[in-house]
Amino acid sequence: MMQIICPHCGPRAQTEFVYERTVDSVAPVSACNEEAMQTLFTRGNPRGVDDEIWRHTFGCRAWMVVTRHRVTNEISNIRAVGPEALP
Amino acid sequence: MNGPSRPNSGQDISFTFDGTRYTARTGDTLAAALLANGIGLVGRSFKYHRPRGIMTAGVEEPNALVTVGEGGRAEPNTRATDVFVYDGLVAHSQNRWPNLSLDFGAIFGLAGPVFSAGFYYKTFFGSAKRWMFYEHFIRKAAGLGNAPREADPDHFSQRAAFCDVLVVGAGPAGIAAALEAAEAGKRVILVEQDDILGASLIRDPQELDSAWAKESADSIRAAGGHILTRTTASGYWEHDLVTLTQRLAEPGQVPANGVAQRLWHVRAGQVILATGFIERPMAFPHNDRPGVMLSQAVRTYVRRFGVCPGQRVVIATNNDDAYLTAHALKEAGAQIVAILDARPAPAGQAHGFTTFNNAHPLATKGSRHCLKSVSGIVDGITKSWDTDLLAVSGGFTPVVHLHCQAGGTLEWHDAAQAFVPAQSRQNVKTIGGAAAPAPVFSSAPVVPAKKSFVDFQNDVTLADVDLAWAEGYRSVEHLKRYTTLGMATDQGKTSNMGALARLAEKQGVAIPEAGLTTFRPPYTPVTMGLFAGAAAKDAGAHKRRLALYDVHAAKNPIWQPLGYWFRPRAYPMTGESLAEAAMREARSVRTAVGMTDVSTLAKFEVSGPDAVKLLETVCATTVGKLAIGRGRYTFMLREDGFVFDDGTIWRIDENRYLLTSSTGGADRMATHLSYVRNYLHPELRVSVVNVQEHYAGIAIAGPKAQSVLATLIGEEPPRHMSTIAARIAGVAVLVLAASYSGERAFEIYVDARNAEPVWAACETAVVGTGGCLYGLEAMEFLRIEKGHLVVGGEIDGRMTPHDLALDKMLNKAGGFIGAAGLTRPALSEAGRRQLVGLEAVEGSIPEGAMLVTPDGKSPEGHVSASAFRIMDGGSLALGQLTDGFLRHGEELIATSPTRGQRARVRVVAPHFYDVAGERYRD
């Protein structure tokens, strides 16, 4: 069980979080049909670092992007997302 | 063979083994107590039912598996070496019939060649029927203990902990490491699976002894450290999380405070593994007889428990360590008949023992209960010795399980002929014997392979390894699966290295090149109850109660689970069945009026200047055209274009909307809305609040609903698909005019805390008008007849808006989630399943039935919901049918083989009642 550092709550057990999907599976809202389907169905599955969307569902319920190495589970970055995180 | 120096500190306690009462000393393991009572035969082997005795003194024990305890507390497959005797302990041997001494299953041993590696695959390759017949007998004959049938009366708890340093293993190395860390001010947890610290110091007193262990423990505690005994680090997970299983009571023992075991989740800053090593047996024919024991185990029984397992002892070794056993036995008064040392030259420890070099055991002779003689090869010449105990040491295997579970790599230690920990990506290091095992002499003696056991627990011999090799199983992973080597409760702790060496020898490669199987948690078996912890029985899932639960409960309804809730399915009158009650309730709605609790519907308040933008992203219909006070039906798509939920949208105010959706999909919808709001559209000026349980909901439906509502609110009720704010019984309510039943209907939403007076006023009005309450079953009848959809039934995640005939409602402007997915060509091709109505021509339509043509072989659709015409009788249903829109009028068979029911049906439009919708409009 990993330990994930919630940008709002600090380090918490993985069981408090829910994995949603990879960042690269989300098409931009403005994408054309073909690009949207390409993004949804043809996506990377790297044996290495990937950006993933997680939510602290059983905690503060905030969303975040977790940069995780998919073999070693090393988490190199966690970025808050949502209206509060906008520049 | 009672030992000469049983410790005087212990008290006499009694236990039973297979019904016979024996005496033990406190502090004895069951194995020590059995040996002290002269019991050599303890179990029967898994496959051949060979008589087996105690081989080890630790958790790696492959042979001495017993069931400890009675009733629901019974723990099968308990290692006799890993249970401490308490007064009244009850133990039974396993895998024998009628008893341990006379076991008919031993016939399998005579048929040895038949039951060699892969025998299941080779012997029972016939028809499945034959296998079904044999399986029964095989399962009975081959096996371990039986799981108890009764519920476990004890509790299992879970606890989370954090520390700077977690030390696993309280041998001298572990104690020293824990002491150092604790004195440096770190938060320390030291865990030990034994019930004492520094047990190996009793076996082998050095300059450090048990007194030092005790003093160190006191110092660790004084510095704030925690020491957990009878606690096993069973799993090493990501980011230095280690799970510990702590025994608060011995197997089968009534726990002092009701809690039998505790599961710890420990997140450690650093983990120090001082897990030591496990001695390896040697492979030679009949090496599994009671009386053959590992050398260090013999020493442990002599020095720690004061039990001498034999009086005339032969020792076989390839290393120095076994000579310590010779000394210990000599001190205990036993005679060392011979030491067979595999090494070619004397190593300098002989000390007057009769020692043979270049010597290896060749076979044993004896009875079911004990050993009588051992033969060996010395310089190629066979010799034989009368003996009652053979102590063997084939080298030492470091316990690297946790290191490997943590993702660490191993490297080959040639002098010790063992793998030792190398790199790790987690913050873990291994110290002590596990990191630096003692050197051994490597030799591959030529002994017959038959009956030379490698894996004692699974009855795998050298011959089985050879056979697997001969049959083409080259990889160690294949070898494991084909022979069952290294499986079951001991997970190959004593056997893996022996088999691996043989495989490498066959391959003609060095051992490290032959590879290793994966070390997986748990290190030792873990009781299932620990994983459930407190979440057992009624606490397994949370129960949510409706705001009006007490009101319903007083009417004694039939309850039905829906989402997280229980909702009334029907309110039967005395003597009524569910079907009768539901039909009476549905008729009341069709002819007069009925009311029901709809509080569980998902509800979201969406407000802000960009509310429409958010809703038009989530919903596939238009939203922006709604006037204030108006509402509409809507549905939502996944990105791939399939419908996943539906509901209604109400514009309460200029920038304020209420969105409802299905009960069962409530969590999913909440997550979806949150995802869209926070991840996809963080820039929108909108707030989404989940108000599902803030509001209680009451639906009133029927031809008289209009007048009932007018009385209740004292004003003109809203028009169909309109909403007004009003008061009922003095409480502010929101009234929505929407119909699920097909009749004129209203939904009343009220702050859940004030729901009871509103419900009471509604009930008085409804019942006073000749109506009644209705439950979910009647609601199903009503909505099926009307052709309304339900999420999970018709909306099953495989239907597009077109398949459900909802496509005319799609937002032409696009921009909603799923719009791109809908453009995929396959979604508009012929041959898709489409929503249809079904009318019974003959028989009653079974729910879940397949739809087939009268001459058809494969199903062309299925029945998603079936019901009866409420006023006229007759069976009808909704279903999905290939190209169903074009097949109205066709006759099909609805067949349910699992229910043994079938009906002839006619395909019709999915509207059986008031097709024009005149009854609910005003």
> B543 to chain A nearest CA, in Å?
17
- Count the domains in chain A: 1
**Interchain CB distance below 8 Å, B679 and A53:** yes
Query: Could you give the CA distance from residue B492 to residue B510 in angstroms, rounded to a whole number?
Result: 20
Query: Could you give the CA distance from residue B592 to residue B744 in angstroms, rounded to a whole number?
Result: 11
Query: Could you give the CA distance from residue B300 to residue B141 in angstroms, rounded to a whole number?
Result: 34
**Interchain CB distance below 8 Å, B679 and A72:** no
Whole-prediction pTM = 0.90
CB-nearest to A83 from B241, B267, B682 is B682
8 A C-beta contact, residue B437 and residue B418: yes
> A50 to chain B nearest CA, in Å?
17
**Interchain CB distance below 8 Å, B680 and A72:** no
Residues of chain B with pLDDT under 50: 1-4
Is residue A23 in a domain? yes
Query: Which residues on chain A are in Cβ contact (under 8 Å) with B679?
Result: 20, 26, 53, 63, 81-82
Query: Which residues on chain A are in Cβ contact (under 8 Å) with B158?
Result: none
Residue in B with minimal Cα distance to A12: B267
Residue in A with minimal Cα distance to B424: A72
**Interchain CB distance below 8 Å, A26 and B680:** yes
Whether the CB of A50 is below 8 Å from some CB of chain B: the reply is no
Is residue A44 in a domain? yes
- Give φ, ψ of B563 to 5 degrees: 60, -130
As a whole number of angstroms, the longest Cα–Cα distance in chain A is 40
Best of A8, A34, A60, A73 to disrupt the B interface by mutation (most B CBs within 10 Å)?
Answer: A73
**Interchain CB distance below 8 Å, B267 and A3:** yes
Is residue A8 in a domain? yes
Residue in B with minimal Cα distance to A87: B683
CB-nearest to B678 from A32, A72, A82 is A82
**Residue range A34-59: average pLDDT?**
95
Locus of tokens 């919903």:
B619
**Sheet containing A63-69: which strands, arranged edge to edge?**
A18-22, A49-55, A63-69, A75-81
- Give φ, ψ of B82 to 5 degrees: -125, 30
Cβ-Cβ pairs closer than 8 A, A with B, add up to 71
Whether the CB of A38 is below 8 Å from some CB of chain B: the reply is no
> B824 to chain A nearest CA, in Å?
8
- Give φ, ψ of B561 to 5 degrees: -70, 135
B573: DSSP letter: P
8 A C-beta contact, residue B544 and residue B646: no
B640: DSSP letter: T
Is residue A57 in a domain? yes
Residue in A with minimal Cα distance to B237: A1
Residue B411, pLDDT score: 96
Query: Which residues on chain A are in Cβ contact (under 8 Å) with B682?
Result: 81-83, 85-86
Give the DSSP per-residue string, B86-142. -TTEEEEE-S-SB-SSSBGGGHHHHTGGGGSTTHHHHHT-S-HHHHHHHHHHHHHHS
The pairing of strands B875-882 and B565-570 is unpaired
Query: Which residues on chain A are in Cβ contact (under 8 Å) with B640?
Result: 40
**Interchain CB distance below 8 Å, A74 and B425:** yes
> B156 to chain A nearest CA, in Å?
20
The pairing of strands B418-421 and A18-22 is unpaired
Burial class of residue B304 (count of CB atoms within 10 Å of its CB; 0-12, 13-18, 19+): buried
Residues of B with CB under 8 A from a CB of A: 160, 237-239, 241, 265, 267, 407, 425, 617, 639-640, 671, 674-675, 677-684, 819-821, 823-824
**Interchain CB distance below 8 Å, A82 and B680:** no
Query: Who's near B344: CB < 8 A, 6+ residues apart?
Result: B357, B358, B441
Is residue A85 in a domain? no
Query: Could you give the CA distance from residue B594 to residue B585 in angstroms, rounded to a whole number?
Result: 7
8 A C-beta contact, residue B607 and residue B590: no
Q: Which two tokens stand for residue B665?
A: 């999909």
Return the CATH number at A37. 3.30.2270.10
Whether the CB of A78 is below 8 Å from some CB of chain B: the reply is no
**Interchain CB distance below 8 Å, B682 and A82:** yes
**Interchain CB distance below 8 Å, A29 and B674:** no
Residue B833, pLDDT score: 97
Residue B297, pLDDT score: 98
Give the DSSP per-residue string, B693-738. TTEEEEEEESTTHHHHHHHHHTSPPPPTTBEEEEEETTEEEEEE--
List strand residue ranges (DSSP E) for B334-388, in order. 335-341, 355-356, 359-366, 371-378, 381-386
Whether the CB of A72 is below 8 Å from some CB of chain B: the reply is yes
> B754 to chain A nearest CA, in Å?
29
> A3 to chain B nearest CA, in Å?
6
Instruction: Look up the ipTM and state it.
Output: 0.98
Query: Which residues on chain B are in Cβ contact (under 8 Å) with A72?
Result: 407, 425
Q: Which two tokens stand for residue B887?
A: 């097949």
CB-nearest to A63 from B678, B819, B821 is B678
A14: DSSP letter: G
Q: Which helix (H) or strand (E) holds A68?
A: strand A63-69
What is chain A's mean pLDDT, rounded?
95
Residue in B with minimal Cα distance to A33: B820
Q: How far is CA A26 from the centre of its chain?
A: 11
Query: Could you give the CA distance from residue B60 to residue B220 in angstroms, rounded to a whole number?
Result: 28
**Interchain CB distance below 8 Å, B682 and A14:** no
Q: By residue range, what is the domain housing residue A68?
A: 3-80
8 A C-beta contact, residue B399 and residue B322: no
Query: Could you give the CA distance from residue B245 to residue B251 in angstroms, rounded to a whole number?
Result: 13
Is residue A7 in a domain? yes
Is residue A12 in a domain? yes
**Interchain CB distance below 8 Å, B824 and A37:** yes
Please give the angle made by the CA atoms of B335, B340 and B343, to the nearest 5 degrees: 140
**Interchain CB distance below 8 Å, A36 and B821:** yes
Is residue A61 in a domain? yes
Query: Could you give the CA distance from residue B845 to residue B874 in angstroms, rounded to a whole number?
Result: 10
Query: Which residues on chain B are in Cβ contact (under 8 Å) with A32?
Result: 820
Whether the CB of A33 is below 8 Å from some CB of chain B: the reply is yes
Residue in A with minimal Cα distance to B235: A1
> A18 to chain B nearest CA, in Å?
10
**Interchain CB distance below 8 Å, B265 and A57:** no
CA B379 vs CA B122, B340, B421: distances in Å:
40, 11, 36
Whether the CB of A76 is below 8 Å from some CB of chain B: the reply is no
Q: How many helices (H) and strands (E) does chain A have?
A: 1, 6
CB-nearest to A37 from B674, B677, B820 is B820
**Interchain CB distance below 8 Å, B682 and A31:** no
What is chain B's mean pLDDT, rounded?
93
Tens of pLDDT, residue by residue over B240-285, are: 999 999 999 999 999 999 999 999 999 999 999 999 999 999 999 9
Whether the CB of A60 is below 8 Å from some CB of chain B: the reply is no
CB-nearest to A37 from B237, B681, B821 is B821
